[in-house]
Amino acid sequence: MAGTKRKRGKNSYYLEYMFDGERYSQTIKASSPTEANRKLALFVAEVEKGNYSNQSNITFTEMAQMFLDKYAKNNLSDTTVINYKCQLNKYILDEIGFYKLSKLKKLHIQDLANKLYEEYNLSSKTIKNYINLVSSILEKAIEWGYINTNIGNNITIPKNYSKPKKEQEIYNNEEIKLLFKALENEEEPFKTMVYISFYTGARRGEVLALRWKDIDFNNNIIHIVQNKIRKVDGTKIKETKNKRSRSFVAPHVLMQKIKDIYTNQNENDLLFNYYPSTYTRMWQKFIKINNLKYITLHDLRHTNGSILASKGVDIVTIANRLGHLPATASAYYLHAVSEEDIKASEKLDNLF
């Protein structure tokens, strides 16, 4: 059929055109039938060129959900998907989610970036992350034929000079003494979880993914080979952050504390059965109740590295213990360790 138009309001017309078995439609503004006919001809031409999608009337919210369901779910990590959902629900959808893709303008996205700075005082880096997510969703909309251009590109990110960069918090020797004193009154397994976090500098998920076979009591070696992460519907065990295992000598004091909770469990059993955020909440509650200086669990990792550095351990050994650099061992479990690694362990054994 040829393109048709129907008057809908004083200066509004509804255009329709059937092409290749699909019906395309658009609502336009026109002050006269002549102008409406001209816009109808342009509309028909765009459809026939393949430049108009009859699905461009979906909202940004609908497109974001499709992005999560049809792309992110099977191509991105569970942690990334969770973070994307948080970003969308926290600010993005409230500000631009109701716009149809065909009506969403670059200025709307610029307004979002400005509001994240002016009203929510987010850092420039965080604002950029939000805008990048919007751009990624629109890029997928282009790939799937909903729109033709990505208006999320080249958005100006406000410079938030008033947002100070978060300083890294660590415990000094006196604060470590207070930490250990407070831990004496704590129950297992939380107590040992914290000791492992402190003495190994392992990431939260790495501590929670430790199995009994990863603890070599004979040689005082701990093997970090996997990581527990959040999923939308629970948790998942996967490889470490840098996809490489590492092994190092653990201080005698720590190995004894781990022995104290060992009761002949199966070697494949986890030492601790906790959701990552549960460990974080337990830590936060512990800090508050004992009136300790607030640092995060990840800051315990930095505390470990800072202590070793202050004791004269070389930076390469520290990096290897913390998992910042690729492991040098070719074997899955490392039983032969360097002299420097043994010295690093001794530094932690003799803190005070």
Q: Which amino acid does the sequence have at 331?
A: A
pTM of this structure: 0.61
Q: Three-state DSSP class for 179?
A: helix
Residue 276, pLDDT > 80, answer yes
Chain segment 36-77, per-residue pLDDT in tens: 999 889 888 888 887 666 555 789 999 999 999 999 989 998
How far is 182 from 286, CA to CA, in rounded Å?
Answer: 9
Residue 153, pLDDT > 50, answer yes
Average pLDDT for the chain: 85
How far is 347 from 352, CA to CA, in rounded Å?
Answer: 10
Residue pair 197/300 in contact by the 8 Å Cβ criterion: yes
CATH numbers and ranges of domains, the chain: 4-49 (no CATH), 60-143 (1.10.150.130), 173-349 (1.10.443.10)
Mean pLDDT, range 6-10, rounded to an integer: 82
Residue 317, pLDDT > 80, answer no
Residue 254, pLDDT > 60, answer yes
Residue pair 96/82 in contact by the 8 Å Cβ criterion: no
